[in-house]
Amino acid sequence: MSEDKVKEMAKLLLSGAVMLAEQCPVCGAPLFRLKDNTIKCPACGYTKAEKVEKKEREETKQKITVGTEKEILTKKLDLLLQNLERSQDVNEIKTILETIKVIHELLKET
């Protein structure tokens, strides 16, 4: 951590801010709660207004993650099928087929 960031943290503490056990979701530095209840990261400037809002954001984030995961899996599946078509190597074919099976299982779960 750079000296500037340590200074910024000290400044926050002196202004009555409280260091929280929670970490910044952006950079992992400890978060501070300011006098006006704003939660702020002194290292990267990340701020968070209220806990309720954060929960909503996390739920949204989770939905996005699931969608993306499915997208990624589908893309990989396409790629694997292309490789399977091209492949002449028995071991490679076996590996590809096993991987496809795993992806199918994962896609069923999402």
Cα 6 from chain centroid? 26
What is d(CA 20, CA 48) in angstroms, rounded to the nearest whole number?
Answer: 13
Neighbours of 36 (CB within 10 A): 7
Considering only 17-25, 47-55, 72-80, 93-101, which stretch makes contact with Zn ion by CB under 5 A? 17-25
12 touches Zn ion by CB under 5 A: no
- Please tell me whether residue 17 binds Zn ion under the rule CB under 5 A: no
Question: Using the rule CB under 5 A, which residue among 26, 79, 81, 107 binds Zn ion?
Answer: 26
Among 1, 19, 44, 107, binds Zn ion (CB under 5 A): 44
Sign of CA dihedral 2, 3, 5, 9: positive
Give the one residue of 5, 46, 77, 80 binding Zn ion; rule: CB under 5 A: 46
User: In angstroms, what is the minimal distance from the CB of 40 to Zn ion?
Assistant: 9
- Contact residues for Zn ion, defined by CB under 5 A: 24, 26-27, 29, 41, 43-44, 46
